[in-house]
Chain A
C-alpha cells in the first residue's frame, strides 16, 4: 500500500540519529569499495557489462519465446511450471501446492519476489508456518521489519539490536554482541527448522531457457539446505530472470557477487535441472506488472536488472536516508526506477542527485538515472509536482533562460540574503535549509567581476 508521506518525511525518521547515518553510509561504501577491487581485477569488465546488457536486451526482445522454451525444457526435466499473472495468483498457486500435499512448515531462502507478493502473511493466515532461513531475513522476520536492502537486508541494524533480539527470541546471552556468536546461534536454531520443514522455497537468480534449469546463488547455503532436505521444492521467479543459455548464466554468475558484495563468487552457485529422486520441484513464473512495464520503452530496461544491489551501495541518497525511506519495497535507484509509474507520493523521484553513479556501476547498464529523470518529467506533465516545485521550477527555468533576468535575480537575491535574518531566510529556503545554512553571497557576481577585469 502506498505510504501517504513523502521521501523526505520518511527519511527524517532515519536521519534523527546522525551517527547511525554515518555508520550506515560507511558500511555501504565499504561494499562499493570491495566491488571496485573485484571489477578492476577483471580486465574485461567493461566488455562483460556490454555483453550482459546486450544479452538482456535480447532476452527482453524475445521474452515470450524464451519463457516458452524454458517451460518446455523444465517439463522435460520433470519439473512442474505454473504461470501467475499477479501477486494474488502467485500466492494462491503456492498455497494450493502446499495444502494439496498437507504441508505445514515451509523453509524459505531469500526472494524479493515473495516480498513483492506478500506471500508469507498469506500463508501464515492459512496456518502454514514460514521460516526465513537467510540470516538477514531471519533477523527481520523475528523483529517484524521489512528488508532495507535487497542483498544485505538487515544492513540498517546494529549488532547490539540483533543481540537484544536474539536474547529475547533465541535465548542467547544478554549483551553478547559478537557477530560469530550470534550467527552461530541462528545456525543452530535454523538447523532444527531445516530438519523439520516439510517444504522448501527458493528464489531464482537465472533461469536457463535452453536447458530448463535454474541457478540459485547464496553464501549461506540456505537455499540448498532447504531444497535438498524437503521432498517439495517451490522456486519462484519473475519473468525477467530468464537467460538464453548456460554461457549467459555463467557470465552473470561471474558478475553478480563481484558487483554485489565484492566477492569473486557467492559460496554456492547451485544449478537445479531436475527434482531429486522421489521429490517434486515446482516453478512459479510471475508477471505482476512486468508485462505492462515492458510495453513502455522508457521503462522496460529496468528488467535487465540482476538484483546485485550495487546501485544502492553507491547512491549518496540511499546511503544516508536508509532503505525504509522509499515508498516501494525495493529501495534505492533500482526501486525508484521500477516503481516510476506507480509512485503515489510524487516525491521519491527527487530522492536522487542525478549523479548517475548507479548507472555507472550497474553490471547490465540499466539507465537508472535516465529513467528517474524521465519519471520527474512525467510527474511534472501530469500536474503532480509538489506545491513548492510547481512554482519554483518553472520560475527558475524562466530566469535561467534569460541573461538579463538572471542578472536581476542575482541582485535581488544578494540584497535579500543580506537583509533577511537567517531564520526568515530558512522559511524561504523550505526543506533545503533544515540542516543547511544559506550560503554567504560574494560581494560581486562573476559577470560583474568579468566585466570589470576582462571587459571590452
Chain B
C-alpha cells in the first residue's frame, strides 16, 4: 500500500507553479427570481405546484392516498400515509410513490432545489420514489448556484443535493427520456 506521504511526494515538482487563486465572485441574478425559477424548472422537466398554500398540497396528497399510493412526507404540516419514524433502512422505501421533502434553497438559473440530509429520514428518499415533491418558499430563491453555495453553511459531515427536475437520460440516440433511475416527475411547491 502506498502511504500518503510517498504518494504526495510524486507531485512535488510539477511544471505548473505560482498561480494564485482567482476571484470566484460572479454577478448575481436579480429579480424577478420567481419567474426565472419557474421558467427554468419547466425547462429542466420539472413542474410547479398548483398553489402557494400548504392546504392545497395536503388536498393533493389526500387524493393520492385515496387512490392507493404510498406517500412519505418529511414536511411539517403535510401528512402522508407512511410514518417516517418507522423507516430504518432505505430498502424499505422501494414501494414509495411520492416523497415530499422540504428544501431550504432554490436556484433560479437552473431550476434546482437544494435538499439536505438534515431534512430527510434517509438520503435515498429523494431518488427511490416514483414522484418527488419539494416544498420551499419564494423567499428561498437565489439567482445562481454560486449564490446558493454560499447559503449552505454546513456541507461537512453531511450530504445534500441540488435537484434539477426529474431523473432523465438521453443515452439512446439523444432522445430525452424522463424517468431514468430516479423520480419520473419532480414538482416544486412554492409555499408563501
Binding site for B on A (CB under 8 A): 27, 30-31, 43-44, 47-48, 50-51, 54-55, 57-58, 60-61, 63-64, 67-68, 71, 73, 76-78, 81-85, 89, 93, 133-136, 139, 152-155, 158-159, 162, 179-180, 182-184, 187, 190-191, 194-195, 208, 211-213, 219-222, 224-225, 227-229, 239, 244-251, 253-254, 261, 263-274, 276, 285, 287, 291, 294-297, 299-301
- Top 3 A-B pairs, shortest CB-CB distance: A221-B182, A220-B180, A228-B124
Give Cα A267 to B23, complex, Å.
Answer: 27
Q: Cβ of B85 < 8 Å from any Cβ of A?
A: no
A300 and B15 in contact (CB under 8 A), knowing A251-B24, A269-B112? yes
Give Cα A387 to B145, complex, Å.
Answer: 53
Which of A71, A153, A224, A239 is B11 in contact with, Cβ under 8 Å? Answer: A239
Report whether A139 and B171 are in contact in the complex, using a CB–CB cutoff of 8 Å: yes
Q: Cβ of B128 < 8 Å from any Cβ of A?
A: yes
Give Cα A220 to B179, complex, Å.
Answer: 8
**Which one, B48-56, B59-67, B146-154, is touching chain A?**
B146-154
Which of B15, B20, B159 is A294 in contact with, Cβ under 8 Å? Answer: B15
Residues of B within 8 A of A58 (CB): 19-22
Give Cα A190 to B43, complex, Å.
Answer: 27
Report whether A244 and B174 are in contact in the complex, using a CB–CB cutoff of 8 Å: no
Q: Cβ of B84 < 8 Å from any Cβ of A?
A: no
A267 and B22 in contact (CB under 8 A), knowing A274-B159, A285-B7, A295-B15? no
Give Cα A259 to B182, complex, Å.
Answer: 23
For window 1-21 of B, CB contacts with A under 8 Å fall at 1-4, 7-21
Count class of interface residues, chain B = 35 or more
A225 and B11 in contact (CB under 8 A), knowing A83-B3, A220-B169? no
Give Cα A85 to B7, complex, Å.
Answer: 7
Which of A57, A254, A268 is B145 in contact with, Cβ under 8 Å? Answer: A254
Q: Cβ of B162 < 8 Å from any Cβ of A?
A: yes
Report whether A246 and B155 are in contact in the complex, using a CB–CB cutoff of 8 Å: yes
Q: Cβ of B164 < 8 Å from any Cβ of A?
A: yes
Residues of A within 8 A of B27 (CB): 43-44
Give Cα A221 to B166, complex, Å.
Answer: 9
> What are 8 A-B contacts defined by CB distance under 8 Å?
A27-B174, A61-B16, A83-B4, A154-B171, A220-B169, A221-B167, A264-B164, A273-B158
Q: Cβ of B119 < 8 Å from any Cβ of A?
A: no
Report whether A158 and B112 are in contact in the complex, using a CB–CB cutoff of 8 Å: no
Give Cα A4 to B112, complex, Å.
Answer: 48
Report whether B2 and A264 are in contact in the complex, using a CB–CB cutoff of 8 Å: no
Residues of B within 8 A of A254 (CB): 109-110, 144-146
Give Cα A268 to B167, complex, Å.
Answer: 8
Residues of A within 8 A of B173 (CB): 27, 158-159, 179
Report whether A265 and B181 are in contact in the complex, using a CB–CB cutoff of 8 Å: no
Report whether A152 and B171 are in contact in the complex, using a CB–CB cutoff of 8 Å: yes
Give Cα A54 to B19, complex, Å.
Answer: 7
Residues of A within 8 A of B152 (CB): 246
Residues of B within 8 A of A296 (CB): 15
